[in-house]
Amino acid sequence: MAILDQPLIAAVCGVFLLIAGGQLVVREAATLAARLGISSLVIGVVVIGFGTSAPELATGVRAALADAPALAFGNAIGSSLANLLIVLPLAALLLPVKVSRSAIRAEAAAVLVAATLFSILAFVPGMARPGGFIMLVLLSGWLAFSLMRQASGRAPPAETGLQQREGESLVLSAQPWWRALALLVVGIVALLAGADLLVSAATRFALRMGIGEDVLGLTLLSFGTCMPELATALIAAKRRQTDIVVGSVLGSCMFNLLAVAGTVQAISGVGPGGLARQYDVPMLMLATMVVTVPLYIRQKLDRPTAVLLLAIYGLWLAARLTG
């Protein structure tokens, strides 16, 4: 189509397909899993984790295969920053976030470990590909550890309850299994088509405008791919389920860093470089600590703090784009 020859229009269409496909994948995968007798706890731990990061993963893999890893890293880092400094604060502005310390203790620690590992590996270029596999193994270990803790009853009740509510929140109780399966396939096709369209358009747009691929990843791609998380967060806040907002944001960040960045490094054999290594990776580490540590200690995120986090993001993005 001639209209898709325009990179910006094609990129917007790609983002739309990614958002629609991601929404279908996470919702229909959760529903299908429930129809197969999989517990809401497993859905909350595994299905939602992969599903909410499906747009970033599809984009990251496509970018790595297209020899545009900077675009993929910009997306993974930018989406994580947007989750921590935009999605969570916007939900808190709607309704101050409250969460039990025991409900997020393990996940907050896991996100800090993931951000630290990703940051360290960024400054050891020779470890990019092995580091990617290490991150994927770490993610697999985390999922296995989480499920075993839940099955053995060693997990705090608040953590178990949060993950169950996350799983239940996306299951369509009246949806037959065959329809869920059909829509899941449609969602996967939309994700793949959207990722292909977006990466192709973004690389052409960057070349035409003289903009770095990492900048497009930090802005257009990250804003687009975090839209499902933002919608979920605002709906959960409106329903006064603010603990789900925290669980969703932390889970999405962990999957972005371990699944998306890990896969990109394993495929491309390179890590973040240039300005991404100098500015974006340290900012990611700082944002992770600024959000998770106070949230764990105070067990809440009030409106003044939310405004501060939004301001931090705005100042960083302005400095990054003009630097």
Q: How confident is the model at residue 259 (pLDDT cuts 50, 70, 90)?
A: very high
Residue 211 vs residue 72, higher pLDDT: 72
pLDDT at 81: 94
* Residue 126 structural domain: 2-322
Cα–Cα nearest to 32, from 182, 162, 206:
182
Per-residue pLDDT tens for 87-134?
Answer: 999 999 988 888 888 878 888 898 999 999 999 999 998 999 999 999
Task: For the chain, give the number of residues.
Answer: 323
Among 60-64, 140-144, 159-163, the minimum mean pLDDT is found in 159-163
To which H or E segment does residue 98 belong? strand 97-98
Task: Please say if the pLDDT value at position 26 is more than 80.
Answer: no
Residue 228 vs residue 295, higher pLDDT: 295
Mean pLDDT of 137-147: 87
Q: Tokens 């804003």, residue?
A: 223
Per-residue pLDDT tens for 48-101?
Answer: 667 777 888 888 888 888 888 888 999 899 999 999 999 999 999 988 888 888
Q: Tokens 């389920």, residue?
A: 241
Structural domain count, the chain: 1
To which H or E segment does residue 97 belong? strand 97-98
Q: Is 155 helix (H, G, I), strand (E, B) or coil?
A: coil
CATH number of the domain to which 164 belongs: 1.20.1420.30
Task: Please say if the pLDDT value at position 163 is more than 70.
Answer: no
Quote the mean pLDDT of the chain.
84
Task: Please say if the pLDDT value at position 172 is more than 80.
Answer: no
